[in-house]
Structure 1
Amino acid sequence: MNEFFASVGSAVSAAVETTENNPVLNISIFGAFVAVTLFIVIRASRNNKTAADYYAAGRSFTGPQNGFAISGDYLSAASFLGICGAIAINGYDGFLYSIGFLVAWLVALLLVAELMRNTGKFTMADVLSFRLKERPVRMAAAITTLAVCFFYLLAQMAGAGGLVALLLGITESVGQAVVVAVVGVIMIVYVLVGGMKGTTWVQIVKAFLLIGGALIMTIWVLAINGFSLNTLLENAVAASVTEPADAILGPGLQYGGNPWDFISLAIALVLGTAGLPHVLMRFYTVPTAKEARRSVVWAIWLIGLFYLLTLVLGYGAAALVGPERIASAPGGVNSAAPLLALELGGPLLLGFISAVAFATILAVVAGLTITAAASFAHDIYANVVKKGNVPPDGEVKVARRTVIVIGILAILGGIAVQGQNVAFLVALAFAVAASANLPTILYSLFWRKFTTRGAVWSMYGGLAAAIILIVLSPVFWGSETSVFKVGTAIWPLNNPGIVSIPLGFFLGWLGSVTSRGGEDRTKAAEMEVRSLTGFGAEKATNH
């Protein structure tokens, strides 16, 4: 878990150290990307007047466009750098990450995505409060959304700062802090100016870059191996340092000793994705349920293609770079993809792949920021504090101010965790999403007897359980990769999912069956019809 989600910055450090650092080349590539995407954002932001424009891009994107944006939001730098490294070192066990992420996406699409799009307006809390008591449910949903977004945001900011600082040859902590601040300011400008429309275009561009970059490297690796996957695997086995050498083609290298840790992580990843608010929010940017389904098809093809490419890139890194060189690099397993890029195309390809990783972080950060801003402005300010009595432009003004506040907090947090293990932040984001958000979402969509008490108990209980267990785990205490290298972990697993997720479902059930008064059955029936058919959704989402 720790090595998979480790800071993206350390992932490229080995590659930077093995070649002459060329800050001018690197900053030119970064500058070109920022300039192009900023131009796109400014062009896209001309009509950001209403809440629907700012949060949902005026529902103006087609299915294919949204499919690219979904894949851009979903495929993080960890998917690119982390999975390639995991396959290079652990072979079959590393590829389980690709399988897990793809299955997770299918769970999100089949059980949650279209139903939520048909029921809500802008945020997850819209759906959860549709048939329950609005204020307590909105507040709980907004708090869990902000928790997921903030911890995810913190990890991405720290990774972005480390990545850019290393590529520019900045080693002093003050210089790295400046880099984090610059990245944060760019992010704030993107979201402040562009809203969801600008953010969506950044994600589309990033998806092209990421999948295109991975495709180029994949074809290159296959060409070196005579376009034979069998030859590639034989070369990877030949370079292997395991006993026996062909162990990288079978299961057990990484999780043979502690299968419970893998089960807990797998549960959190597979189920957590279906509760990630920044991914679910993408479905509000299309005009109809039909376009939502089209975007689903495009996203599955793009994401599935990408994860197939990681198989070639991972074993390619094992064959061409070698597991010993990867493992001994400062970035550990996460240095596999940059080292492979350096081996294939030298500093120029390294610069391009690093720019792709930076684009990936920027796109994910922008998506998280607008989701968090929408949750605060729409759920807490407009519906809880003002009880729906806000002028047409009032909500967007608050959302823009919230973007600035979130950006400043992310900058300060990113500076604070520089040089530390930020793996627990991403783990916590997935665990909170799976423990607090998903049970309430599924119960709201599929169980008519679900009550407000069940929703509140599930969200707060799942959130508390996930945070407490991670604080007590080896992620925080007692190992070289822990945040605090002293002490002893009380909870033995790196991820709390195996306990906190079932607890979230149990508390939702317990709160509902112990509620004295039932909820509005008429509203429950209306929500079921709307979620399954889309009837009434267009009227609800366009006022």
Structure 2
Amino acid sequence: MSARIAQLAAAVEATTENNPVLNISIFLAFVAVTMIVVIRAGRNNKSAADYYTGGRSFTGTQNGFAIAGDYLSAASFLGIVGAIAVNGYDGFLYSIGFLVAWLVALLLVAELMRNTGKFTMADVLSFRLKQGPVRVAAATTTLAVCFFYLLAQMAGAGGLVSLLLGINDKLGQSIVVTVVGVLMIVYVLVGGMKGTTWVQIIKAFLLIIGAFGMTIWVLVLNGFNLSTVLASAVENSTHEPAAAILAPGLAYGANPLDFISLAIALVLGTAGLPHVLMRFYTVPTAKEARKSVVWAIWLIGGFYVFTLVLGFGAAALVGGETILAAPGGVNSAAPLLSLALGGPILLGFISAIAFATILAVVAGITITAATSFAHDIYASVIKKGKASPDAEVKVARRTVIVIGILAIAGGIGVQGQNIAFLVALAFAVAASANLPTILYSLFWKNFSTRGAVWSMYGGLASAVVLIVLSPVFSSEPTSMFGEGVDFAIFPLKNPGIISIPLGFFLGWLGTVTSSRREDPHLAAEMAVRSLTGHGAEKAVEH
């Protein structure tokens, strides 16, 4: 197998040196097509509702593909395939966690939040509570979650193009991240939610077709026998013992608490991700929302099954050493597998799909963050509901530019990190800062404004502080500051095991210690609307 690894390593070097024109041409073709779609869709943005929710004009099937497009990020394709290829069984836990997380979001919050008929998560959380403090807190947590998620996508962009063009220096990767950020800004400024949604639909279709094709190809080479794939992965493994790649503990055996913390964050995080929840506001009725969920769950579930075959296929055909040594590191597993299967042309096609995935997801996250600031802080708090829709959209567009600049700066700083791991941090922040308040607002009639504010700020602060004080930032070779700097006093890499229960506790404590009682009529109205959807369309008209 060592000869095979050396052969592939040479092929990677030759491809990145000799075929950059092919790789970039395929990517530019996608950008050109989607840009045309975005421009055409953007012409129909005549109101704030059009810009924020696409005028609620998408069918359940279309929205199902868009949800899958938003959810299946670069972490799902590049990060998870790489994690499985390098860490085997422990890497597949990401797939399981992301899929189960979707079920939690579906069963607990998705349709209930959509039925309130609002633009943002803060609309739901402030429905029966004091508007000002709750909206500011919700917008703050939304922006924080979106920023962490954007970091992951930017890390994937840098690693992917590093592989395609053979760029290993910091300056080259920084230029790549900047280009992605600029394209993201253009997509959102021009197309709004309509344009972004169509990019998501196109990208989801291409990603699932590409992953399905590679999965079938790997299985064909192994006689449609998954056991043969796993046996080849073991044979090509450099771990001691080689079979450790099929057993739990390779990545998290040294610190089981880290695994438990990661699992909690993955399973609970999706239900607090603003950009995923916002997708449910783009359909006209609750029936279409349910239809979109059915489509999304099949698409997402099928894709995560593909990652199992692709990850172990990469371990078998490419090898963990080659993957880690390639530009982009662990995130290069899927592109290298495509190179091993179909040569430079398939590599260019799959890499273009991965790049499209990054662009589509960052566009969705950016419009969510911009909407939250413009609608929740500018229009509702600063202007106290008196801002015109045109002024609100202008603020949203300016916010897009600011968010894009911040994402570019942050993305340059996280190059080399596993993007599935970075997304897990975003999930931890979402589950700590947003999920407790969402669940309390939907299911606890006595929940108070103080409880909401304490829960959101407390969950956010604890998650961020613990991340900064963990090995993610310092003390290890893969840390953001490297091993030369050491201020890691929190031993776990994911804060979920502490910050998520703390968010729930602070929500309860703030409520039971609050002397102010919220309007019971508003609580009753929210309960009826969330369960039935009655009044949702009227809320949109307002």
The alignment's TM-score, normalised by the length of structure 1, stands at: 0.93
Change (3 A) 1:117 1:13: farther
- Residue among 97, 108, 123 paired with 2:94: 97
SS in 1 for 2:115: helix
Alignment check: 8 A CA contact 1:61 1:287 kept: yes
Counterpart mapping for 1:213-224 below 5 A: 213-224=210-221
Map of 1:258 onto structure 2: 255
- Residue among 13, 27, 31 paired with 1:17: 13
Residues matched between the structures, number: 532
> CA-to-partner distance for each residue in 1:285-309, whole Å, 9 max, x for gaps?
0000000000000000000000011
Which sections of structure 1, spanning at least 5 residues, go unmatched?
1-11
Q: Aligned letter for 1:433?
A: A
Map of 1:495 onto structure 2: 494
Counterpart mapping for 1:289-304 below 5 A: 289-304=286-301
CA RMSD of superposed structures (Å): 2.1
Map of 1:150 onto structure 2: 147
Instruction: Kindly indicate whether residue 398 of structure 2 is the aligned counterpart of residue 412 of structure 1.
Output: no
Deviation, structure 1 residue 120 = 4.0
Instruction: Kindly indicate whether residue 152 of structure 2 is the aligned counterpart of residue 129 of structure 1.
Output: no
Instruction: Kindly indicate whether residue 345 of structure 2 is the aligned counterpart of residue 354 of structure 1.
Output: no
Once structures 1 and 2 are overlaid, which stretch shifts more, 50-59 or 159-168?
159-168
SS in 2 for 1:121: coil
Change (3 A) 1:434 1:13: farther
Deviation, structure 1 residue 171 = 4.8
- Identity, % of aligned positions: 81
- Residue among 51, 58, 61 paired with 2:48: 51
Once structures 1 and 2 are overlaid, which stretch shifts more, 309-318 or 136-145?
309-318
Alignment check: 8 A CA contact 1:267 1:497 kept: yes
Q: Aligned letter for 2:505?
A: F
Deviation, structure 1 residue 359 = 0.6
Map of 2:480 onto structure 1: 483
Map of 1:534 onto structure 2: 533
Deviation, structure 1 residue 18 = 5.8
- Residue among 438, 442, 445 paired with 2:439: 442
Instruction: Kindly indicate whether residue 422 of structure 2 is the aligned counterpart of residue 433 of structure 1.
Output: no
Once structures 1 and 2 are overlaid, which stretch shifts more, 529-538 or 227-236?
227-236
Deviation, structure 1 residue 411 = 2.6
Cα distance in structure 1, aligned partners of 2:503 and 2:11: 42
Q: Aligned letter for 2:88?
A: G
Instruction: Kindly indicate whether residue 369 of structure 2 is the aligned counterpart of residue 369 of structure 1.
Output: no
Cα distance in structure 2, aligned partners of 1:101 and 1:126: 26
Instruction: Kindly indicate whether residue 228 of structure 2 is the aligned counterpart of residue 231 of structure 1.
Output: yes
Map of 2:314 onto structure 1: 317
Deviation, structure 1 residue 232 = 2.2
Cα distance in structure 1, aligned partners of 2:432 and 2:451: 13
Counterpart mapping for 1:188-227 below 5 A: 188-227=185-224
Alignment check: 8 A CA contact 2:184 2:363 kept: yes
Once structures 1 and 2 are overlaid, which stretch shifts more, 179-188 or 238-247?
238-247
Deviation, structure 1 residue 282 = 0.4
Which sections of structure 2, spanning at least 5 residues, go unmatched?
1-7
Deviation, structure 1 residue 514 = 0.4
Alignment check: 8 A CA contact 1:15 1:339 kept: no
Cα distance in structure 1, aligned partners of 2:132 and 2:10: 50
Deviation, structure 1 residue 324 = 3.7
Deviation, structure 1 residue 162 = 4.2
- Residue among 135, 145, 157 paired with 1:138: 135
> CA-to-partner distance for each residue in 1:233-264, whole Å, 9 max, x for gaps?
23333333445444433323222221110100
Deviation, structure 1 residue 89 = 2.8
Cα distance in structure 2, aligned partners of 1:353 and 1:234: 25
Alignment check: 8 A CA contact 2:436 2:455 kept: yes
> CA-to-partner distance for each residue in 1:292-347, whole Å, 9 max, x for gaps?
00000000000000001111111211222233433444544333212211111111
Change (3 A) 1:406 1:326: closer
- Residue among 300, 305, 310 paired with 1:308: 305
Alignment check: 8 A CA contact 2:167 2:327 kept: no
Cα distance in structure 1, aligned partners of 2:316 and 2:172: 36
Q: Aligned letter for 2:50?
A: D
Q: Aligned letter for 2:382?
A: V
Map of 2:459 onto structure 1: 462
Instruction: Kindly indicate whether residue 515 of structure 2 is the aligned counterpart of residue 516 of structure 1.
Output: yes
Counterpart mapping for 1:28-177 below 5 A: 28-171=25-168, 173-177=170-174
Change (3 A) 1:405 1:331: closer
Deviation, structure 1 residue 20 = 4.6
Cα distance in structure 2, aligned partners of 1:14 and 1:143: 48
Deviation, structure 1 residue 214 = 0.6
Change (3 A) 1:470 1:392: closer
Q: Aligned letter for 1:516?
A: S
Map of 1:451 onto structure 2: 448
SS in 2 for 1:72: helix
Q: Aligned letter for 1:491?
A: F
Change (3 A) 1:422 1:356: closer
Deviation, structure 1 residue 539 = 1.2
Change (3 A) 1:226 1:171: closer
Once structures 1 and 2 are overlaid, which stretch shifts more, 17-26 or 197-206?
17-26
Cα distance in structure 2, aligned partners of 1:260 and 1:399: 41
Q: Aligned letter for 1:19?
A: T
Cα distance in structure 1, aligned partners of 2:500 and 2:462: 9
Cα distance in structure 2, aligned partners of 1:184 and 1:13: 30
Cα distance in structure 1, aligned partners of 2:9 and 2:538: 52
Cα distance in structure 2, aligned partners of 1:90 and 1:405: 37
Cα distance in structure 1, aligned partners of 2:185 and 2:458: 32
